[in-house]
Amino acid sequence: MTETVCKVCRGHGTIDRDGKIYECQCAFIKRMASTMPSFLRKAEIQPAHLELPVLKAIKRHVMVVAAWPDMKAVIKAAMLKHPHMFIKITSDREIRDVYVGSKSKAAKGEDNGSIYNSLEDLMDPPALMVVRLNELSYKNKAASGALEEAISYRTDRDRPTWLYNDMDKPFTVGSIAYSDSIADLIKTNFPVTRINRILATPNLDLDSLDDLPQLEIAEDPKPEPASKPEPQTAVAKASRKPLEISIPPPPDGMEEKERKPPPRLKAKIRPSDDDDSPLPSGLSVYGSGNSSTSKFRKGK
């Protein structure tokens, strides 16, 4: 996984043209990628993706039927082509969560990731909203009502929306969030574009696993003294573990700005540059205690 140095700027990130300094394409792509969820950052874009008509429909309602690797490439390409446009991806699952959360106080508590208090908070801001259909995997009564409301929010205001229908896991009769009125809403408002498979859909071929990056486990050389509290960096956390899986550093030294739920497990296994350890915030609440003993001693 060695990164080749950009031939245009030789890794400087800027180019000098007519006495002026310009950002190199490679730096631009890195900067854009830093704002993307990691599953998009790693998406592979082929020239064929850039020819797809859907990329010209950035201001339209469209239902895109495609395989997930191609859809990721299309969304990433759209983001790179329109760097100043707020393009967001949501799903029927997130819509359901937000909808149910807005009705239940418990879901409004402190949580990692974005908190949306209402469907409007979720659906309003993006200039282009991509709704991934059929991500819901277990039955929920609120799901189709929430999805219908969310899609209607966009169509009523004529806000560009792409519905993504996975050809390998189609949203259709029997899908959890499906309803006849959603079908009607889609048929009335969303012309369909179908992307024939461009990227191979990864599958787990056990014969080819030797070609993939192999798991390496290294002993931690020096256990850390227990007394000294360290800042909660990923490195500090990692050094406390007796065993450490050696993970190459992120290729571009970027941090993930938007934490999304991990994408569906895809068959291709590779070392991830994500730090999935839970954040320590909030733990101190449990650690410090309420010193209820003094309460008992003093009485009321």
Residues that bind Zn ion (CB under 5 A): 6, 8-9, 24, 26
For the bound state, the minimum distance from the C-beta of residue 6 to Zn ion, rounded and expressed in Å, comes to 3
For the bound state, the minimum distance from the C-beta of residue 31 to Zn ion, rounded and expressed in Å, comes to 12
For the bound state, the minimum distance from the C-beta of residue 33 to Zn ion, rounded and expressed in Å, comes to 14
For the bound state, the minimum distance from the C-beta of residue 15 to Zn ion, rounded and expressed in Å, comes to 7
Q: Pick the closer one to Zn ion by CB: 25 or 193.
A: 25
Q: Pick the closer one to Zn ion by CB: 32 or 107.
A: 32
Q: Pick the closer one to Zn ion by CB: 26 or 122.
A: 26
Q: Pick the closer one to Zn ion by CB: 8 or 212.
A: 8
Q: What is the DSSP string of the chain?
A: -PPPPPTTTTTSSEEEETTEEEE-HHHHHHHHHTTS-HHHHTPPPPHHHHT-GGGG-TTS-EEEEE-HHHHHHHHHHHHHH-TTS-EEEEEHHHHHHHHHHHH-GGGGSS-SS---SSHHHHHSS-SEEEEETT---S--TTHHHHHHHHHHHHHHTT--EEEEEETTS---TTSTT--HHHHHHHHHH--EEE----SPPP---GGGGGGSPPP-EEE-SSPPPSSS-----HHHHHHHSSEEE--PPPTT----SS--PPPPPPS---------SPP-TTHHHHHH---HHHHHHH--
For the bound state, the minimum distance from the C-beta of residue 21 to Zn ion, rounded and expressed in Å, comes to 12
Q: Pick the closer one to Zn ion by CB: 24 or 73.
A: 24
For the bound state, the minimum distance from the C-beta of residue 8 to Zn ion, rounded and expressed in Å, comes to 4
Q: Pick the closer one to Zn ion by CB: 24 or 151.
A: 24
